[in-house]
Amino acid sequence: MIPKINYKKAAFFAVFVFGVCAPTQAQFWKKLKKKVQNKVEQKVEEKLDKETDKVIDKTFDGEKKKDEPKIEQSNQLPVFSGGSGILKLYSHGYEYITKDIAISVYGKFTKDNLSNSVKTYNEDRVIKPVDAFPDGYALAFNGSGFLNPKEGQIIIHHADSKKVVFSLKGTWNTTEGDKPISGSYINLSVSEIIDKRIVENRSETSNKNTSNNTNNNSTNPFANINSNKTDIKIPSKFSFTSSLEVKMTSNDGSTADMEFLLGDYPSIYGMSIVSEDMGEGGIAYNVITPKSITMFINVSGMKMKKTVAQDQFSQTDFSDKVPSNPDELKKTGASKSILGFTCYEYKYTNEGGYVSVWATKDFPANNTNITMLGMREGGIIEGFVLEIDSKSGNDTGNMKAVKYNKNKSVTINTNDYKSMGF
């Protein structure tokens, strides 16, 4: 049987990914409004909290033995020179940092197999410095800007626990505009290795604790949010330059509307949220990356955010509703126009029904991994999905793009939002 798509549930999670259902939304916004009303009184408390945090951090972490290289804000291009820097090992890859530039490579690396990163990363494998960690990608950045993915190239010539050598080619994005850059960084010696990889058994223990908390608080809509104690880093800014409006329809005639925010990211997208409970001028966004989901809320002049790990919300991934096996989902040769774009059909059929996916290669967006639309990196669907139609038994459903706003601009300066404490 075809996996049954529950469109009501899909719409529910699309509008409120964190699981705040309709009966609890009033409580949610009431809580926010109360926080706004107490904003003045909280300032004193926040100041005390900051001083307390400093004492706690100093007690547990101690003084830093050595200052890490800091990349200074500058409108100048990185200088092609040698020197030394710090090598940081992460679970998602490694990062080499000097006073002038940082280079990141995503993959499974240790100090003993860094040579596996010795390769060329062309423009389709060069990304902006964002909170996304796809294997096989690289990026270069500093306090002034970053290597543009378009026509950009990063070559790792050598990498081990003692030295990292790389070269760049393309344009550098600065506050003054794009500037041509080309050259090699040679004799970059490793002065220190900092291991920031997550210990597996600690992660497993955390998952077990999270599972227990969820079971014990199944009636609490904020249980999953509060149980997440992971410090997830997000970039200082998300920029979206267009949007796609989608309508979902089920066989009982019910519909749901959503808007996807698109930018120059292959694996990051946003979703705008509208709720009457937010009041006039209130606005909220969900930003989904491969590793995290962040809700940004601006209500009554108060900006708040909440970030959680992506793996806590597997229900937001609808890509499993679209077969990925080439023997199941096949290109039929049929075509039609959606929003002026020529789309080709990919279809899977059995005696219980079908799943029909319409995708176009002409859509002007870089996104390749919008799981809400059944799109994922490495899938067999070529292009951007603009419609999914399905039938399973007596149930039918349709998800279709109805409007493309090519000039919509949404910029989220994440540091302007205070983390939610509930």
Structure tokens at 154: 């990063």
CA quadruple 366, 368, 371, 374: dihedral sign: positive
The single-letter code of the amino acid at 203 is: S
Quick one: DSSP state of residue 8?
H
pTM of structure: 0.51
Q: Which helix (H) or strand (E) holds 25?
A: helix 22-37
Report the alpha-carbon distance of residue 33 to residue 38 in Å, rounded: 9
Q: Kindly give the pairing relationship between strand 418-419 and strand 302-309.
A: parallel
| pLDDT tens digits along 109-152 | 999 999 999 999 999 999 888 767 788 999 999 877 899 998 99
DSSP-H helix ranges across 178-229: 200-216, 223-227
Q: Which CA distances in Å does 107 have to 93, 94, 179, 281, 366? A: 5, 8, 29, 42, 21
pLDDT digits (tens, 9 = 90+) for 302-348: 888 888 887 665 443 444 456 555 457 788 999 999 999 999 999 88
- Pick from 34-43, 169-178, 256-265, 390-399: least confident: 34-43
> Sorting pLDDT into bands at 50, 70 and 90, what band is 202?
very low
Across the range 11-28, mean pLDDT stands at 38
pLDDT of residue 391: 86
Cα–Cα separations (whole angstroms), residue 89 to 105, 136, 140, 160, 385: 10, 16, 16, 12, 36
* pLDDT at position 253: 83
Segment 200-210 mean pLDDT: 41
Question: Considering just the CA atoms, what is the radius of gyration of the chain in Å?
Answer: 23
pLDDT mean across residues, the chain: 75
Q: pLDDT per residue over 344-368, tens digit each?
A: 999 888 877 888 999 999 999 888 8
Q: Which residue has the tokens 């919008």?
A: 370
Residue 167's pLDDT band, with cuts at 50, 70 and 90, is very high
More confident residue, 412 or 373: 412
Is residue 75 within 8 A of residue 49, CB to CB? The reply is no
- How does residue 252 score in pLDDT terms, banded at 50, 70 and 90? confident
β-pair partners for 261: 243, 270
Q: What is the dihedral of CA 173, 176, 181, 185, to 10 degrees?
A: -80
Query: What is the per-residue pLDDT across 187-196, written as a single tens digit (0 to 9) for each?
Result: 889 999 998 8
Q: Are 90 and 122 in contact (CB under 8 A)?
A: no
Return the ∠ at Cα 16 (arms to 255 and 22), rounded to 5°: 75
Domain layout of the chain by residue ranges: 1-63+221-422, 83-200
Q: How confident is the model at residue 48 (pLDDT cuts 50, 70, 90)?
A: very low
Give the span between the Cα atoms of 373 and 367, in whole angstroms: 11
Which is more confidently placed, 102 or 76? 102
